[in-house]
Amino acid sequence: MLERYAVYRQAVDEVLTNLSLLQSGSGELVTCASGTTPLEGEVPEPLKSAMVYSLLLPGKRIRPVLLLASYALLREDWQEALPFAAAVEMIHTYSLIHDDLPAMDDDDYRRGKPANHRVFGENIAILAGDGLLNMAYETMLSAPVCVKKPVQALAAIKVIAEKAGVRGMIAGQTLDVKLEGSMPQGELVAYIHRHKTADLITAPVLAGLLLADARDQQLRCGQRYGESLGLAFQMVDDLLDLTGDAQAMGKHTGMDAVRGKMTWPAVVGIEQTRRDAELAVRDAVEALECFGSSGEFLQVLAQETLVRVK
């Protein structure tokens, strides 16, 4: 189990480290501080460094792993899906950079390191976020699978665009920032969790399945798995913010309460949140039964979510 996660994760990290867009052709850092004109066809500094900085911060790579593992439910050649896996990580990373900005959550730390804008300035952090979102699409559109299977590729890109978009992740972010300090309400917290977090868990599952030519019924199973896992994920995150250790988390803890964020523990309490997360994981595991024994890896992966709060 852990071995397979490590294999996927290493493959993702290799792709992210070697992205041709973020390589300097000459190996030299082209800085514009010196007044040198950037080379055509390369990403200019300091934009490139800012994008690389956040993209390569140590992370679990859970979203890209989900995409590869979902593809692997139906097909062996999961390497075909790697550009899409990398793209989902880019979208996740852009959302974190923009979330951390002073006008948003105003976070100074992320994954144990200074937030992007603390290193590169707010203007470059805004552009680096924009750049990563756009590069996610560039990366998917340049994938070999777009030539081999254009219809499946279009379907996968579309589901990612929908889940990352203004009825998906960005809808959740909107409520998250607008409702700071409001009285926590179950329905609103559920809405925020469903979109801010679960949509970007469901997206890679569905994209992996679509690339692998899944049938409608399989897509429905994947949808249910992603939604439930996503909810569990956010509940665990909320619990860790309340009870976790700042060092282990790589960011300040207790910030949700300070900011008056809508969280699940704020509505139903810590114990009930733990129970609800367990229920959500159970539902995710059940959803995958339609894939038989090949679903086992993703089932174990869902169960692992709870380990950090047990």
Positions touching its own copies (CB under 8 A) are: 21, 32-33, 35, 37-38, 40-44, 46-48, 51, 94, 98, 101, 103-104, 121-124, 126-127, 129-131, 133-135, 137-138, 141-142, 146, 150-151, 153-154, 157-158, 161-162, 164-167, 170-171, 173-175, 177-179, 182-183, 185, 187-188, 191
Q: Which is nearer to its own copies, 76 or 187 (CB)?
A: 187
* CB of residue 52 to its own copies, shortest distance in Å: 11
275 contact partners, CB below 8 Å, separation of at least 6: none
129 contact partners, CB below 8 Å, separation of at least 6: 94, 95, 97, 98, 116
Q: Which is nearer to its own copies, 98 or 251 (CB)?
A: 98
* CB of residue 118 to its own copies, shortest distance in Å: 13
Distances (CA, A) of 310 to 18, 42, 119, 236, 303: 37, 47, 35, 10, 11
157 contact partners, CB below 8 Å, separation of at least 6: 84, 137, 140, 141, 207
CA dihedral 195, 197, 203, 208 (to 10 degrees): -160
Tokens standing for residue 173: 């972010």
* CB of residue 67 to its own copies, shortest distance in Å: 17
Q: Which is nearer to its own copies, 187 or 216 (CB)?
A: 187
CA-wise closest residue to 47 among 31, 59, 26 = 31
* CB of residue 136 to its own copies, shortest distance in Å: 9
* CB of residue 307 to its own copies, shortest distance in Å: 31
Q: Which is nearer to its own copies, 105 or 238 (CB)?
A: 105
Q: DSSP letters along 118-166, please?
A: HHH-HHHHHHHHHHHHHHHHHHHHTSHHHHH-HHHHHHHHHHHHHHHST
* CB of residue 88 to its own copies, shortest distance in Å: 13
Phi, psi for 91 (deg, rounded to 5)? -65, -45
* CB of residue 165 to its own copies, shortest distance in Å: 5
Q: Which is nearer to its own copies, 207 or 281 (CB)?
A: 207
Tokens 């899409």 belong to which residue?
A: 84
Tokens standing for residue 301: 């992966």
Q: Which is nearer to its own copies, 178 or 275 (CB)?
A: 178
Q: Which is nearer to its own copies, 199 or 237 (CB)?
A: 199
Tokens standing for residue 262: 């809508």
